[in-house]
Amino acid sequence: MPRLNEIKSVLVIGSGPIVIGQACEFDYSGTQACRVLQAEGIRVILINSNPATIMTDPEFADATYIEPITPEFVEKVIAKERPDAILATLGGQTALNAAISLHDAGILDKYKTRLIGANVDAIRRGEDRQLFKEIVASIGGESAGSMICHTIEDCYKAAERFNYPVVVRPSFTMGGLGSGIAYTKNELTEIAGAGLRYSPTTEVLIEESILGWKEFELEMMRDYKDNVVVVCSIENFDPMGVHTGDSITVAPAMTLTDVEYQKLRDLSIGIIRAVGVDTGGCNIQFAVNPADGRIVVIEMNPRVSRSSALASKATGFPIAKIAAKLAIGYSLDEIKNDITQETPASFEPTLDYVVVKVPRFNFEKFPAADNRLTTTMKSVGEAMAIGRSFPEALQKALRSLEKKGSSFSWDQIVKSKAELLIESGVATESRIHSVQQAMFLGATVEQAHEASFIDLWFLAQIEIINKMAHLLLQPGEISEKVLRDAKRLGFSDLQIAQLTGSTEEDVRKRRSILGMHPVYKTVDTCAAEFKAMTPYHYSSYDYETEVEPRTKPAVIILGSGPNRIGQGVEFDYSCVHAAFALRAMDFETIMINCNPETVSTDYDTSDRLYFEPLTFEDVMEVYEAELAVGPIVGVVVQLGGQTPLGLAARLQAAGVPIVGTSPAAIDIAEDRGLFGQLLKDQNLRAPKFGMAGSFKQAQKIANEIGYPVLARPSYVLGGRGMEIVYDEETLAAYISKSTEISLTHPVMIDKFLDDAIEVDVDALFDGEELFLGGVMEHIEEAGVHSGDSACVLPPTSIDASLTKEIREATKKIARGVGVKGLINIQFAIAENLLYVLEANPRASRTVPFVSKATGISLAKCAAAISLGKTIADLREEGALPKVGDGIAQGISVKEAVLPWNRFRKKDGSGVDSLLGPEMRSTGEVMGRDDEFGAAFSKSQSGALGALPISGAVFASFADRDKGKCVDSVKALAKLGFEIVATAGTAKFLAAEGIKSKVIRKYSDGLGPKGELTAVDSIESGEVALVINTPFGSGAREDGWRIRTAAVARGIPIITTIPGLKAAVLGIAAQQKGGFQVKSLQDWLK
């Protein structure tokens, strides 16, 4: 059967904002789905609130709705578009949950549409733990002993039955949210209590512990004919107990015999059939007892998942693309394998290489958070590497993390073997290093296994790496053979240099003299049994290279590496656009990246894909390998964020042509001295600042420019280590924390503009002409990191003359820096004066947002400018308007999504949810409408924190905010909200004529008649909205308790006055109701 001909239109539901546990892998899968459906001539309707995605570009759907993914808004889209079918299995848990809600509410029936790819019963069977357990038993499988609990008392009973530790898993949450391991009754109370709250059905599963077992995952696909294939097997390096998203994982499975592997395969096939996943992908996780091989089925995801993206990149088998085809009626044997172009998709990929995925964490941004890894996912991104052996792939993966200390090191081991072995017993981000160093200091493979439960085979492979390190440490020059063997084990030049006491440059030179370079192999799904037509390469120190000659001039685009807070999907968006634009200009496009979640690492985004770490060494090798087979015009570094930008100068020094903004220009923008001079020359105002190499200097500067000051390290993205400092004491504390401070790595001390409005500008410059893409006004005041602040485009409170001034300043800076392509500038407006805060000569996080709001692809234009086009050319071609700057249609609000609910302190309490100069958001959404209130309201709904339309508001304000809050609180009262406040605030409000109900402070404890405190009333769900502005510097127990209670309960919380003002407008708009949905295509008309 070719396909279901009655389906003429399909609504694809995306996954919304990037959050921990649900990241840009769903942009990858959704984009593939949209492309497949469009190619079939089906009208594609898309809903996704996340503007940073590629799938929401207007060309990937016929009608793109950047609207909240809530049943309410999805219904509006259905009512308007009347799709024949809905595809919800490619948008993560968000899409699946939305689909189930729509089904339960009878909306699918009402509009005579249906789900394709999976039916609701199958989703339920897959996700409802009890049903799933029954299914596993029915096909002869085994689950861990468990009990479903709806109350905390049930949980205690269950724990008595299974003995501690027990595993807590809330039902229907994503990324393992709320799950954990309880070793004691107290811990159970904490974890299960939270789990019951997180679960939409107030249900948790208490489970027998299988900690320390081996963990495996099989990625499956099934078509309507009941053909089932295993796409990929994945083995976790970390034993059971760590969420698979936080585990180092390896493909294919390494420690199973065929007999054991086939058992997992048989169980998986039995499960997918019994659950009834009609068509599409799913994954099933298993635990295997290393002592006797007992297999326990852990869980399944009846949809395309994060692991599916990994499996797709690991094997070359595009799961999402094929899932979309299966959903519209194709069978696996009717679909061609893209890579071989002659064999069908109804086969099981076989690998002749090893894939290692390592998670990327951002604990440094949440210093209070417990950094132990559990069954709740905490990583924010991942890097994948491919090698011809596990050691090679592992070492490449670790250096792909691009984080200090992520690669193995052998010098400066300060801890003893015994200490390291103890550390190996606790799963943390750095456990692999503890294990490796313990073995380097003489621990045996068996000892390391006893401490960590990591499989002996993996440990033996690490021991091979350690043995090589010992060899390299031997005095005297290393032989060619040893050097080659080290490279074969994945050692970087830098690691070899550290071990041999030379420099990276010297190792590189030595290799160059010896002609020792990696070869590039191909990911081909079939272990070379058939010829591969897609140049999807990875490096290995092996014998034969497979890079084909080419004649077209090539451009290399450097991607942005693993997602991390501050550098996420937005940069992949720009890189992908560059690939499309440059291909259209008839260049051969070559992508280098190591992030398996992205569209850029899809094998058909660019002409050639190199799945490689983004380090100087790895990029140089690709460059040289490609230069050997054809002409290269240059390398694009300005679109992948700070990662490629940081490589630019070294690449250029090594003779690599950098296209677009030059490394010298980048340096002008990034070096505060040079940039300060530029501003001075151009008569532009900037907050006073200085650079300090010591506390003494910092103290002097702060005294000169006056507190508050903003302190931060130089050359960082996402405001890492940035703090607003109000007094000398805090400054001293900040400096002492910055261990890396030195004259070469100074700390910046800026005057902090209190109460300023912050403005972000994205612009194109070609050397002559400036195109102002968009001016965004931040809703939160300056001091909140731009990535965490909501912003509005066009600005609402900036007048024409100021806008003109911003444009002129932007042009002066772009010219002064020497930008060719994109520039992002942050300004602050204080007392109607414009200050320049900083300039980034690269694509910014806001580029996709601006592009969606204005209908102009800034990234494509930037790529074209880098390769010599002018803005005049682009205006001529129609890529830019004939005259003028970018004009936003309607009002667009961007809101940040923060991961507070993911992190807890060691005592189990929540981490504080205050916004600050350090960026902590993981993703963003866009709300758009004709007026601000509605747009803001949509942005809040999209960000999973919909504003209430009625109920009680708990309000508490810092003294300095009290004068500023009156109008908003009055407005809330007028809108019908009951104001609840503690005595002090209530008294103040009364003086302003606002009635409020007095509630006890947390620190007062429960009242004599059991009167609740503010925190209790938030926890009990009596409050619909929490307003709490922080009390200046220093922790205040009450405020923190209030905020964490709101986060835990999922109650919207506002922590700034401008945020409150916006919320009032949003609530007012919501009360009026009748929000319309409008597609991007209609906005752009």
Residues near another protein (CB under 8 A) are 225-227, 229-230, 233, 252-262, 265-266, 290-293, 331-333, 342-344, 346-354, 388-390, 445, 455-457, 460, 463-464, 521, 526-531, 542-544, 546
What strand order describes the sheet that includes 249-251?
295-301, 280-288, 214-222, 228-236, 249-251, 354-360, 381-387
Q: Considering beta carbons, is residue 521 or 1000 the nearer one to another protein?
A: 521
Q: Considering beta carbons, is residue 123 or 229 the nearer one to another protein?
A: 229
- Whether the CA torsion 987, 988, 990, 991 is positive or negative: it is positive
Q: Considering beta carbons, is residue 354 or 1051 the nearer one to another protein?
A: 354
Q: Considering beta carbons, is residue 389 or 985 the nearer one to another protein?
A: 389
* Residue 995, Cβ density class (10 Å: 0-12 exposed, 13-18 middle, ≥19 buried): exposed
| Separation of CA 581 from chain center | 25
Do the bridges between strand 536-540 and strand 519-522 make them parallel or antiparallel, or are there none, so unpaired?
A: antiparallel
HSE-CB at 882 with a 13 A cutoff on CA atoms is 0
Q: Considering beta carbons, is residue 226 or 704 the nearer one to another protein?
A: 226
- On whether the CB atoms of residues 11 and 86 are closer than 8 A, the answer is yes
Q: Beta strands of 947-1022 (E only): which ranges?
A: 952-956, 978-982, 997-999
Shortest CB 120 distance to another protein, Å: 26
**Structure-token match 């009156």, residue found:** 966
Report phi then psi at 487, rounded to 5: -65, -35
Shortest CB 387 distance to another protein, Å: 9
Number of C-beta neighbours around residue 259 at 10 A? 8
Q: What angle do CA 952, 954, 960 make, to 5 degrees?
A: 145
- On whether the CB atoms of residues 939 and 912 are closer than 8 A, the answer is no
- On whether the CB atoms of residues 211 and 182 are closer than 8 A, the answer is no
Which of these, 375, 378, 17, lies nearest to 170 by C-alpha position? 375
**Structure-token match 């102002």, residue found:** 772
For residue 941, give the DSSP letter: H
Helix 493-500 and helix 456-473, axial crossing angle in degrees, nearest 10: 50
Shortest CB 396 distance to another protein, Å: 14
Number of C-beta neighbours around residue 961 at 10 A? 17
- On whether the CB atoms of residues 223 and 280 are closer than 8 A, the answer is no
Shortest CB 248 distance to another protein, Å: 16
What's the rounded Cα separation, in Å, for the pair 457 and 1026? 52
Shortest CB 223 distance to another protein, Å: 9
Q: Considering beta carbons, is residue 82 or 531 the nearer one to another protein?
A: 531
> What Å distances lie between residue 178 and 167, 417, 899, CA to CA?
11, 35, 13
Shortest CB 386 distance to another protein, Å: 11
Helix (H, G, I), strand (E, B) or coil at 641: coil
Q: Considering beta carbons, is residue 205 or 384 the nearer one to another protein?
A: 384
Shortest CB 623 distance to another protein, Å: 23
Shortest CB 666 distance to another protein, Å: 39
Helix (H, G, I), strand (E, B) or coil at 354: strand
Helix (H, G, I), strand (E, B) or coil at 1037: helix
Q: Considering beta carbons, is residue 455 or 493 the nearer one to another protein?
A: 455
Q: Considering beta carbons, is residue 266 or 1037 the nearer one to another protein?
A: 266
Do the bridges between strand 791-793 and strand 891-897 make them parallel or antiparallel, or are there none, so unpaired?
A: antiparallel
What's the rounded Cα separation, in Å, for the pair 365 and 361? 9
- On whether the CB atoms of residues 841 and 770 are closer than 8 A, the answer is no
Amino acid, res. 577:
H
What's the rounded Cα separation, in Å, for the pair 1029 and 945? 18
- On whether the CB atoms of residues 198 and 177 are closer than 8 A, the answer is yes
Helix (H, G, I), strand (E, B) or coil at 337: coil
Shortest CB 354 distance to another protein, Å: 6
Q: Considering beta carbons, is residue 398 or 465 the nearer one to another protein?
A: 465
Give the largest Cα separation in the chain, rounded.
Answer: 84
> What Å distances lie between residue 232 and 224, 305, 307, CA to CA?
20, 13, 10
Number of C-beta neighbours around residue 48 at 10 A? 31
Q: Considering beta carbons, is residue 253 or 806 the nearer one to another protein?
A: 253
Spatial CB neighbours of 438, under 8 Å, sequence gap ≥ 6:
417, 420, 421, 423, 424, 447, 448, 451
Nearest-Å Rg of the Cα atoms of the chain is 28
Q: Considering beta carbons, is residue 230 or 825 the nearer one to another protein?
A: 230
Q: Considering beta carbons, is residue 1 or 1006 the nearer one to another protein?
A: 1
Q: Considering beta carbons, is residue 236 or 567 the nearer one to another protein?
A: 236
Q: Considering beta carbons, is residue 226 or 876 the nearer one to another protein?
A: 226
- On whether the CB atoms of residues 114 and 40 are closer than 8 A, the answer is no
Q: Considering beta carbons, is residue 255 or 870 the nearer one to another protein?
A: 255
Q: Indicate the length of the chain as a whole number.
A: 1085
Helix H or strand E segment including 609: strand 608-611
Shortest CB 201 distance to another protein, Å: 37
Instruction: Report residue 733 as tokens.
Output: 């504390």
Report cis status (omega within 30 of 0) of the bond before 1030. Answer: no
Q: Considering beta carbons, is residue 530 or 1031 the nearer one to another protein?
A: 530
Q: Considering beta carbons, is residue 543 or 831 the nearer one to another protein?
A: 543
Shortest CB 389 distance to another protein, Å: 5
The string over 690-720, giving b where at least 16 C-beta atoms fall within 10 Å of a residue's C-beta and e elsewhere, is bbbeebebbbebbeebebbbbbbeeeebbbb
